[in-house]
């Protein structure tokens, strides 16, 4: 799974002018599901995101997590995060999981985050959404469970 985590003061998703998910302080998380991802990837990604310490402490810098600031998560599925642009000018999405597999793992990430005590709003899987955010910092972190697995295998 690949995720782009943005620290925000507010974020929302609308479809045809109707707000379907909105948060104040927290993370806007765009998540793409890879064809090789498993339920274990969903659980690991959820835990990593919920526990990221990227909120400022008045004295030290980025030491606080979501719980420390009372933050929420707006989780949005985005298969284009798995784009392969190495050849030509048109991205390939063969690595992106399709339909039922992708939606199941996306929903699993949200469920694991909620189980960890975080308020989670979501976009609409497969929907044509408008995403608005105010990125504080700006702070943006990219996480990839597949890269981590390859890194762990190398030792």
For 83-126, what is each residue's pLDDT tens digit?
Answer: 999 999 999 999 999 999 999 999 999 999 999 999 999 999 98
Residue 5 near residue 27 (C-beta atoms within 8 A): yes
Is position 80 annotated as part of the catalytic site? yes
Map out the domains of the chain as residue ranges: 2-154
- Average model confidence (pLDDT) across the chain: 93
| pTM for the structure as a whole | 0.91
Is position 78 annotated as part of the catalytic site? yes
Active-site residue (options: 6, 43, 55, 78): 78
State the CB neighbour count (10 A cutoff) for residue 46: 27
Nearest to 145 by CA among 39, 53, 71: 39
Domain 2-154 has CATH 3.10.580.10: no
Nearest to 127 by CA among 30, 13, 37: 13
Nearest to 22 by CA among 77, 79, 72: 72
Indicate the pairing of strand 120-122 with strand 55-57: unpaired
Residue 129 tokens read as: 């959404």
State how far the Cα of 79 lies from the Cα of 102, in Å rounded to an integer: 9
Residue 77 near residue 125 (C-beta atoms within 8 A): yes
pLDDT digits (tens, 9 = 90+) for 53-72: 999 988 788 999 999 999 99
Is position 38 annotated as part of the catalytic site? no
Helix/strand/coil for 123: coil
Active-site residue (options: 55, 79, 122, 145): 79
Q: What is the structure's pLDDT at 40? A: 96
Active-site residue (options: 80, 85, 101, 122): 80
């Amino acid at each position: 799974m690949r995720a782009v985590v943005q620290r925000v003061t507010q974020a929302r998703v609308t479809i045809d002018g109707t707000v379907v998910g909105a948060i104040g302080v927290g993370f806007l998380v765009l998540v793409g599901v890879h064809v090789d991802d498993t339920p274990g990837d969903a659980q690991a990604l959820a835990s990593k995101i919920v526990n990221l310490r990227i909120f400022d402490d008045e004295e030290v810098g980025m030491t606080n997590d979501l719980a420390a600031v009372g933050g929420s998560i707006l989780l949005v599925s985005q298969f284009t995060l798995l784009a392969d642009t190495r050849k030509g000018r048109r991205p390939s999405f063969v690595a992106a999981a399709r339909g039922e597999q992708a939606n199941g793992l996306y929903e699993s990430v949200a469920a694991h985050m909620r189980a960890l005590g975080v308020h989670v709003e979501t976009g609409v899987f497969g929907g044509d959404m408008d995403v608005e955010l105010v990125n504080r910092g700006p702070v943006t972190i990219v996480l990839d469970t597949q890269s981590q697995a390859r890194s762990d295998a190398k030792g």
